[in-house]
Structure 1
Amino acid sequence: MTLVIISHTEHYKTDDGTLVGWGPTVSEINHLVAHFDTIIHVAMLHDGKAPPSALPYTSERITFVSIPALGGRGIGSKLKSIVYAPKVIRSVAKVLREATVFQLRTPTGIGVYLIPYLTFFNKAKGWYKYAGNWNQKHPPLGYRLQRWMLKHQSRSVTINGRWEGQPKHCLTFENPCLTEAEVALGATYSASREWPTVWNFCYVGRLESEKGVGRILDAFKALSADEKAKIGTLHLVGDGPERSQFEAISKEIGVTVVFHGFLPRTKVFTIYKQCHGFIMPTTASEGFPKVIAEAMNFGCIPLVSNISAIGHYIHAKNGFLISPVETDVVVDCITQFINLDEANYTSLLDASKDTVHLFTFEHYANRLMNDVI
């Protein structure tokens, strides 16, 4: 059985010629290959240096087919995507001749024309993965169009969260990010955690205002002197065009902030182990960010926005929901967290265990094979 995956996932060549791609997607594919004879990934090959978070494929049964590196927010980028549409469609059509089943990962710029192409001109068995906020009230035009098209076609669509009026072919799915072995390791580590007297925090993701990095820094700055005395270090993992601005702001907030840039997965796990709270006051088009589940797995309690499907998994028993997503609410959540007594802190840790099991690769693959393919 051959699975063809079509996505906008960024790939790079390292100095020694090794192909690497965006870590979370590559990890998912590396685990899926156990259920298929072959996986062909049609995705984008970029110039430039690969970030440390990029990973190689681990099986010779995974083949990469490159398409032009397209996408972006500017008008020029969108026009380029349209100009290259015939070439992308030809590449996809050629590869689909080998497919037993396909997956198109959306929303993506190329999805605007690949969804109608697959709906009307291709009869291969397949499904769509919508990784964004399925219930977003005012999405960008491209996202809104893709969501509408996915609602009005017959193939299965895996989405984040469970929503009122959800079409029958739209199936609630968790995004996988952990192995059973990592969950076991996380459970052992969480059980060894002690009630802290100094509280460390982390954020993992793009360093940009939309993801809430500015709100994080503003919130820590707004803490009282006594509250700041309870804070150890705020770790920011990731990168982005606003990093230099955030670094300048961080020098004025009265809390130690460390900017790590992009890190390999194993080093990100080390950051989670060092921290007690994972903070993400995002307003971006999130589904359910995988980093929340990863952090919880190592006993890092989430303080996260109540948007999209996040509130379907995070609640008062296992974390803190930031709603509305405003700086004073972030401050309140941080204050409540660092003033937890030992019993309530331990209760939050214990409640995380059932949640993280939903985000294993094994759980995801079993559901795919039973409910979709």
Structure 2
Amino acid sequence: MQRLGIVSDCIHFKNADGKIGTENHILLQQLQALATHFSSVVICCPFVAFDDKKVASFYTDERISFISVPNVGGNSITDKLKMLFVIPKWLAAFKKVDALSDVVYQRFPNNLNLPGFFYFHLKRKKVFATFTGTWDDYAAEPKSYLFQKKLLRKYFRGPVWAYLDKPSTNPKIHAGFSPSYSNIVWDEETEQVNKRLQKLKNSKLETLKLITVGAFVANKNQQLILDACLLLRQQHIPFTLTLVGDGILKDAYQIFIDEYQLNNQIFIAGKKTSTELRELYRQNDFVVQAPIYEGFGKVPIEGFFHGLIPVLSNVELAKVMVANGERGYVFEQNNVESLVNILVDIYQNQSELINQIILGRGYAKSQTLEAWANDYAATVASFYK
């Protein structure tokens, strides 16, 4: 088996017991799944100090080791100047990755892999990559993202996975996905999904139980969902909404909830561990996501695993995920009336829900960690044979 190096900007930390962890629970699971195909894995990533406020997951695979680099970034001139000063440290880290690996996995877009691209390109290293953002160019997209996509499309030596809504004409570019769960999780949810289906066969939903998951930032657009809930109340549609996440807009959302006296219907749950999030999924029926831009939305797929039906804004892969309405719904981007109309229609006409849940569960079976890691490992092995 070959040795794998990984370069990522995902922030990590070490707790008092010496365990390495991150708050990016999904990436951790993905990297551990990928590690099963290699004899050893070394991850080059930024480290910060650990504190008890972090909602952390910790690595358990002993094949995985780490190379720490400084955590720098940002959009100000000062931030960019700081990055110039750490480039020598980055290059030293890349040299270690090169020595400890046979092939390198680079995750874009990020500042760390900009010099990383040129370093491993000049070393003629075997490489493969994922672009985790929106693959099609969009208005107001950061120039650094456009530049990194150009590098990947035209100059990257190995296979690249991107979130595509149609096959690429470039043989190096592969349609990818971003899994959260394993086959074991799919099996674990079977019993509760069957109970959910039986309940729907016996009676209609009396309340729309909605959940949305993501950082409380402008692009995730939770405010649109809050506005929709206000309109649902005006139309006397029973609902609850659980917001999972944290961020700079948390206080603004709480002020909105308080101002319109929605505390009995809308709940801010905060950050959750993977286990806690799974329990919240089981308590709800619909995943509502309203991002303005999105590469690959993991939350709808997580919902499918648990028997939830997604209601998504019309971003790049939304229609692919819901199979043009067969297993979910798509509303017009940044259009609250469109979202409300769909939610009202769901409440009033529930005949398709059972079939949508069944189809969503079937789709989720193809979106596992094992399927993702197997695809990457087989494609890379074939490319460099």
Same fold (TM over 0.5): yes
1:176 touches 1:361 (CA, 8 Å); kept in 2? yes
For the pair 1:308 / 2:309, whether they are aligned, the reply is no
| Among 211, 221, 245, the residue aligned to 2:220 | 211
Partner of 2:192: 189
Gaps of 5+ in 1: none
| Among 238, 241, 255, the residue aligned to 1:234 | 241
User: Which whole-Å CA distance do the structure 2 matches of 1:283 and 1:51 have between them?
Assistant: 29
For the pair 1:275 / 2:284, whether they are aligned, the reply is yes
**Structure 2 matches for 1:87-236, cutoff 5 A?**
87-119=89-121, 121-138=122-139, 139-153=141-155, 154-163=157-166, 166-193=169-196, 194-195=199-200, 196-228=205-237, 230-231=238-239, 233-236=240-243
Partner of 1:56: 58
Identical columns (%): 22
Partner of 2:379: 371
User: Which whole-Å CA distance do the structure 2 matches of 1:25 and 1:50 have between them?
Assistant: 21
CA deviations over 1:107-151 (Å, ceiling 9, x no partner): 1122322222322x1222110111111113232111110001100
Give, as a single letter, the amino acid of the residue that structure 2 aligns with 1:227: H
2:165 touches 2:316 (CA, 8 Å); kept in 1? no
For the pair 1:296 / 2:296, whether they are aligned, the reply is no
**Pairwise CA distance, 1:152:** 0.8
CA deviations over 1:18-59 (Å, ceiling 9, x no partner): 321121111112222221111111111013536654211112
What RMSD over aligned residues (CA atoms) do the two structures have, in Å?
Answer: 1.8
Gaps of 5+ in 2: none
Partner of 1:34: 36
User: Which whole-Å CA distance do the structure 2 matches of 1:305 and 1:73 have between them?
Assistant: 28
CA deviations over 1:269-293 (Å, ceiling 9, x no partner): 0110001111111013x22121221
Give, as a single letter, the amino acid of the residue that structure 2 aligns with 1:128: A
Cα distance, 1:239–1:102 mapped onto 2, change above 3 Å: same
Paired residue secondary structure (2:41): strand
Partner of 2:10: 9
User: Which whole-Å CA distance do the structure 2 matches of 1:78 and 1:310 have between them?
Assistant: 34
User: Which whole-Å CA distance do the structure 2 matches of 1:25 and 1:308 have between them?
Assistant: 21
Partner of 1:74: 76
1:42 touches 1:64 (CA, 8 Å); kept in 2? yes
User: Which whole-Å CA distance do the structure 2 matches of 1:337 and 1:50 have between them?
Assistant: 41
Which stretch of the first structure deviates more once superposed, 263-272 or 219-228? 219-228
Give, as a single letter, the amino acid of the residue that structure 2 aligns with 1:155: G
Paired residue secondary structure (1:227): coil
2:44 touches 2:68 (CA, 8 Å); kept in 1? yes
CA deviations over 1:264-316 (Å, ceiling 9, x no partner): 101100110001111111013x2212122111110111111221223222231
User: Which whole-Å CA distance do the structure 2 matches of 1:13 and 1:365 have between them?
Assistant: 26
1:133 touches 1:309 (CA, 8 Å); kept in 2? no
CA deviations over 1:138-188 (Å, ceiling 9, x no partner): 321111100011001231111112446542101111212111011122233
Which stretch of the first structure deviates more once superposed, 316-325 or 329-338? 329-338
Paired residue secondary structure (1:82): helix
User: Which whole-Å CA distance do the structure 1 matches of 2:252 and 2:110 have between them?
Assistant: 28
**Pairwise CA distance, 1:76:** 2.5
Cα distance, 1:200–1:52 mapped onto 2, change above 3 Å: farther
Give, as a single letter, the amino acid of the residue that structure 2 aligns with 1:351: L
| Among 356, 363, 368, the residue aligned to 2:364 | 356
User: Which whole-Å CA distance do the structure 1 matches of 2:218 and 2:343 have between them?
Assistant: 19
**Pairwise CA distance, 1:61:** 1.1
Paired residue secondary structure (1:35): coil
Cα distance, 1:166–1:86 mapped onto 2, change above 3 Å: farther
Paired residue secondary structure (2:302): helix
1:131 touches 1:159 (CA, 8 Å); kept in 2? yes
**When the two structures are aligned, how many residues end up with a matched partner?**
368
**Pairwise CA distance, 1:244:** 0.6
Cα distance, 1:270–1:49 mapped onto 2, change above 3 Å: same
For the pair 1:323 / 2:324, whether they are aligned, the reply is no
